[in-house]
Amino acid sequence: MTALPSGLQADVAALRAPGFVSNVRTLAGRELRDAVKSRWFVLYTIAFAVLGLAVSFVSAAGTGGLGLAGYGRTTAGLVNLVLLVVPLMALTAGAASIASDRERGMLAFLLAQPVSRTEVLLGKYLGLASALLACIALGLGLCALILAWQGATANPAGIVWLAGLSVLLALAMLSVGMLVSVLARRASVAVGTAIFVWLTLVFVTDLALMAGVVALRLRITELLALSLLNPLQVFKMWSLLAVDASLDVLGPAGLYATEEFGTWLHPLLGACIVPWIVLPLAVAALVLSRRSPL
Amino acid sequence: MITISSLSMRFGRCFAVRDVSAQIDAGDSLALWGVNGAGKTTLIRCVLGLLRFRGGVSVCGHDVLRDGKAARRLLGYVPQELGFYDEMGVGEAIGFFARLNGLRGTEPAASLRLVGLDGQHTKRVRELSGGMKQRLALALALLGDPPILILDEVTASLDAVGREEFIGMLKGLSCSGRTLLFASHRLEEVAALARRVAVMERGRVIETVDTQAFVAARATEMRGGAVLHLTVPASSREAAVRSLRELGFAARLNGLGLLVPVPPERKAVPFRVLADARIPVEDFDLVDAAEAASLAAQAKENVP
């Protein structure tokens, strides 16, 4: 055996891997900078802001006036926009993250550094979450500013609620996207799967519920329970509840939920969406820790 | 420094590495030699903790699977080709990886200077040539001054001049006391850098010999002939091997190119065969018996 030079031996003792928080912060910062510089982020943000303003005008047209409606009505109009755009944005961003790094060999190189797989996953998640937060804040913030400038005063808290709930929805969909990304071997497959998940959550489950009501004569409790399994439905209910303080617009299931749960509806809806944030991310961490990054 | 005990790793039912044990001491330099699919890269990935395996690998007492972060802090890794964020600037890249290694201040710049990339801070990674990308990979591997370097066929994508420069840099690092574990299929690289050679075949280490004896044995095997390294487009590699085998050459894939043993009077024939098959030769080099013998003499210097 050849001994190391004395200087180098001292270094071995001094070499310590950086801590969990430090690594997660570094990785999140890198991911945020990449996302902000990327074309998808800019395009989604512009599209979200432009569509938000368009929805504001359409909401106003419904009241018979010209110009911008108050916060409450506009917020209700924005719910549908958020339901379509935010999940698509979060799912595709999450799906592309790990899978594209794996495809170009970057994931293996990153994991050959003194970092753990959980740090890489969490860093990427937090970086993308920050980018999505910025996108939502910019889009909805622009709408709120313009409404304020137009002198709208009714229920300004509605848009704040909507922004908060949009972030929760984004976190949940990002979590699902990351799971897809960890499972898929190729970035194109991951993004394709993410779009399929989006279509399923946005359209297919709604249609399936309607078909279920007609064909299986589902009871109102069953209908509500099935609706609560879909994070997009949870978001819709919670947003409308925050804006209108009732779910009448959702029909019998909404009325039943308001009457049955009353003030407990907020915590119930929260309890339905939080697992969508935590569980897919936890499963993604587990899969990544066991699977080859190559 | 690195202890590998009874390491086995398989993809499905097929063993990629089978029952490999090795001890690499401080300042040692071990080359992994073998054809494509022999298990060199898989073994390296196991040592880095990138793949799950049976058996054990520890780096200075840190188990690479249970205590991977601490183990990898002691390892600098240079892959065959750096699959990198192309839009990232060189300075940005080195800064990012320096932070992951817990470094601040002037160390990233010093690392770039060490590999001759100072002044390239503002360049984007995609603007770098293959050789410069490998230098960047080496600069990243040297961040934090790790005592062990792990290199996976690092010169495979370089031309002859780039290869010579890169080997020179690695030789300097080896002489400064760093421990090297590297996979290679180039005799001149092994002769320049290794103290010992582990010959791998179908996932097993069939023998571990000192470098001088290894290179001398290769020279004898050539019987006055030579070994031709050919670089052809990736899409034509299989076709090139088939064409050469039809004419009786024992050609085989190796790294990013082909390895063709040629008798003394037929050194130029493979070029004609590939030209007839419309397969362009992008680069080549030739190690003949005389050169192998001189490499064997050179390898003697690797052992202090």
Pairing of strands B2-11, B226-231: unpaired
pLDDT confidence tier of residue A152, bands split at 50, 70 and 90: low
What is the per-residue pLDDT across A40-76, written as a single tens digit (0 to 9) for each?
888 888 888 888 888 877 765 655 444 445 566 677 7
Q: Residue B209's beta-bridge partner residues?
A: B197
The pLDDT score that the predictor gives to residue A115 is: 94
Q: Does A269 touch chain B (CB under 8 A)?
A: no
Of the candidates A11, A105, A290, the beta carbon closest to that of B83 is on: A105
- The A residues from 59 to 118 touching B (CB cutoff 8 Å) are 104-106, 108-109, 111-116
Between these two residues, B299 and A138, which has the higher pLDDT value?
A: A138
Of the candidates A8, A16, A116, the beta carbon closest to that of B102 is on: A16
The pLDDT score that the predictor gives to residue B255 is: 65
> Residue A163 in contact with residue A140, Cβ under 8 Å?
yes
Statement: residue A16 has pLDDT above 90: no
Spell out, as residue ranges, where chain B has pLDDT lower than 50: none
Of the candidates B73, B84, B177, the beta carbon closest to that of A16 is on: B73
Domains in chain B, please, with CATH? 2-217 (3.40.50.300), 220-293 (3.30.70.980)
- The A residues from 9 to 28 touching B (CB cutoff 8 Å) are 9, 11-12, 15-18, 22-23, 26-27
What is the per-residue pLDDT across A237-286, written as a single tens digit (0 to 9) for each?
888 888 766 666 667 777 777 888 878 888 899 999 999 999 999 999 99
Of the candidates A1, A16, A23, the beta carbon closest to that of B26 is on: A1
Query: In chain A, which ranges are continuous DSSP H helix?
Result: 6-14, 20-37, 39-62, 71-103, 106-111, 117-149, 157-183, 187-199, 205-216, 220-228, 231-244, 252-261, 265-290
| Confidence (pTM) | 0.84
ipTM attached to this prediction? 0.81
State the average pLDDT for chain A. 83
- Chain B positions in Cβ-Cβ contact with residue A5 (cut-off 8 Å): 176-177
Nearest residue to A177 via CA among A60, A93, A53: A93
Question: Which residues have C-beta within 8 Å of that of residue B278, sequence separation ≥ 6?
Answer: none
Nearest residue to A4 via CA among B96, B28, B233: B28
Burial of B278 (0-12, 13-18, 19+ CB in 10 A): exposed
Containing B23, the helix (H) or strand (E) segment is: strand B14-24
CA–CA dist B284, B227 (Å, integer): 10
Q: Do B102 and A17 touch (CB under 8 A)?
A: yes
What is the per-residue pLDDT across B114-172, written as a single tens digit (0 to 9) for each?
888 888 888 888 888 888 888 899 999 999 889 999 999 888 777 778 888 889 889 88
Statement: residue A175 has pLDDT above 70: yes
Altogether, the residues listed in chain B come to a count of 304
Nearest residue to A171 via CA among A80, A279, A38: A279
**Residue B9 gets which letter from DSSP?**
E
Tokens of B91: 């300075």
The pLDDT score that the predictor gives to residue B9 is: 93
CA–CA dist B154, B138 (Å, integer): 9
The pLDDT score that the predictor gives to residue A170 is: 96
The pLDDT score that the predictor gives to residue A280 is: 97
> Residue A17 in contact with residue B102, Cβ under 8 Å?
yes
- Chain A positions in Cβ-Cβ contact with residue B52 (cut-off 8 Å): 290, 292
- Chain B positions in Cβ-Cβ contact with residue A2 (cut-off 8 Å): 25-28, 304
- The B residues from 93 to 122 touching A (CB cutoff 8 Å) are 96-97, 99-102
- From residue A106, alpha-carbon distances to A99, B23, B117, B127, B159 in Å are 10, 29, 21, 18, 23
Q: Does B55 touch chain A (CB under 8 A)?
A: no
Statement: residue A3 has pLDDT above 50: no
The pLDDT score that the predictor gives to residue B265 is: 80
Tokens of A6: 């004395």
Nearest residue to B242 via CA among B234, B230, B231, B250: B250
The pLDDT score that the predictor gives to residue B251 is: 84
The pLDDT score that the predictor gives to residue A290 is: 86
- From residue B48, alpha-carbon distances to A113, A138, B72 in Å are 9, 42, 7
Altogether, the residues listed in chain A come to a count of 294
Statement: residue A198 has pLDDT above 80: yes
CA–CA dist B140, B110 (Å, integer): 11
- From residue A61, alpha-carbon distances to A57, A68, A72 in Å are 6, 8, 14
- Chain B positions in Cβ-Cβ contact with residue A116 (cut-off 8 Å): 68-69
Which string of DSSP letters, residue by residue, matches A161-229?
HHHHHHHHHHHHHHHHHHHHHHH-SSHHHHHHHHHHHHHIIIIIHHHHHHHHHHHH---HHHHHHHHHT
CA–CA dist B21, B5 (Å, integer): 4
Q: Do B145 and A12 touch (CB under 8 A)?
A: no
pLDDT confidence tier of residue A226, bands split at 50, 70 and 90: confident
Three-state secondary structure call for residue B256: coil
Q: At B36, phi and psi to the nearest 5?
A: -55, 135
pLDDT confidence tier of residue A36, bands split at 50, 70 and 90: confident
The pLDDT score that the predictor gives to residue B112 is: 87
The pLDDT score that the predictor gives to residue B260 is: 85
Interface with chain A: mutation pick from B69, B150, B179, B303, highest number of A CBs within 10 Å = B69
> Residue A54 in contact with residue A141, Cβ under 8 Å?
no
The pLDDT score that the predictor gives to residue B117 is: 85
Statement: residue A155 has pLDDT above 70: no
Q: Do B100 and A12 touch (CB under 8 A)?
A: no
Domain boundaries, given as residue ranges, for chain A: 20-290
Containing B192, the helix (H) or strand (E) segment is: helix B187-193
User: Residue B112: which region, alpha, beta or left (left: phi > 0; alpha: psi -120 to 50)?
Assistant: alpha
CA–CA dist B259, B241 (Å, integer): 9
The pLDDT score that the predictor gives to residue A8 is: 46
Q: Do B73 and A15 touch (CB under 8 A)?
A: yes
